Chains A and B, each alone.
Chain A
Amino acid sequence: MPFRKCNNVIEEVSAIIDGEAGAIACARFFGHLAMCDQCTRYFEQFKEVRAAAAHVGPEDLPTDFDHVMEDVLARIAEESKG
């Protein structure tokens, strides 16, 4: 039976993913996962959603920025005159 409480273990997931957890914390975290299928499932879901989030941007980034840029330059030129 896992020694640590599951609700405490999952609070460490971000620190583990971001490489901010120390060696002892990592050992305890993965030691718990080795004995707990539900925390393992949660960890896998967490990583998968996070990995997908990294791909939200590029597809959606606008490519037609030229008109925004021209409007800004026109406004700057206008303000410079004033």
Chain B
Amino acid sequence: MTRAAAAAAALDIEGLKAGDSGAWREVMSLHGPSLLGYATRMLGSRTTAEEVVQDALVKAYKAIDRFDGRASLKTWMIRIVHNRAIDELRRNKRYVDLPDDDPEASYFDGRGKWAEGFPTPEKHIDAKRRLAQVREAMDGLAHSHREVLLLKEVHGLSTDQICEALEISPGNLRIRIHRARKALRAAVVDPGTEA
């Protein structure tokens, strides 16, 4: 068991339910930065993300009696933060849902073979510059793509945890992950073709 997993397992759920401030301080210390990191990437603003995470944590505090332990506490809190972040984006009409366009539609001819020039040959790029490209590309993706990539690739949640946090089925998640990765690859390697 990793140190983080051991700390998560040792969290005092009864203390949280009893409103013990020490227990809450511990859970915020353990999961808070990760929640804030997720919200910041989703919202594109550290200030708004802090407000969203604060609201979400207060909501978690009020709803902790309903936490039944089926999901991990972290997954449960991510779901609250995620829902609050989506509310914020929708309220400001900034939420971008799944794009209809396939970023790779122009890659193939009518027989399903690669069209001339695709996939774009890549120049050698060092790891640091590639990371900067990926970060920028991720910030430009539709939120429905970004959320699954953040949870799976960045935060390392399992399929079950992501399905629980986003309230979607494993089949739906598989499709969304693949489309999101395609959109990210296109945005990094073939900028201009991405949806």
Contact = CB atoms under 8 A, between A and B. Distances in A.
Q: Which of B29, B133, B154 counts the most chain A CB atoms within 10 A? A: B154
B178 A72 contact: no
A76 B58 contact: yes
Contact of A6 (B114, B149, B155): B114
A76 B177 CA distance: 37
A6 B107 CA distance: 10
Contacts of B36: 61-62, 65, 68
B131 A68 contact: no
A53 interface: yes
B21 interface: yes
A41 B121 CA distance: 8
A76 B24 contact: yes
Q: Per DSSP, are chain B's interface residues mostly helix, strand or loop, or mixed?
A: helix
A60 B131 CA distance: 12
B187 to A, nearest CB: 9
B119 interface: yes
Contact of B174 (A7, A14, A80): A14
Interface of B: 19, 21, 24-25, 28-29, 32-34, 36-37, 40-41, 46, 50, 53-54, 57-58, 61-62, 104, 107-108, 111-114, 118-119, 121-122, 127, 130-131, 133-135, 138, 149-150, 153-156, 174, 177-178, 181-182, 184-185, 188-189
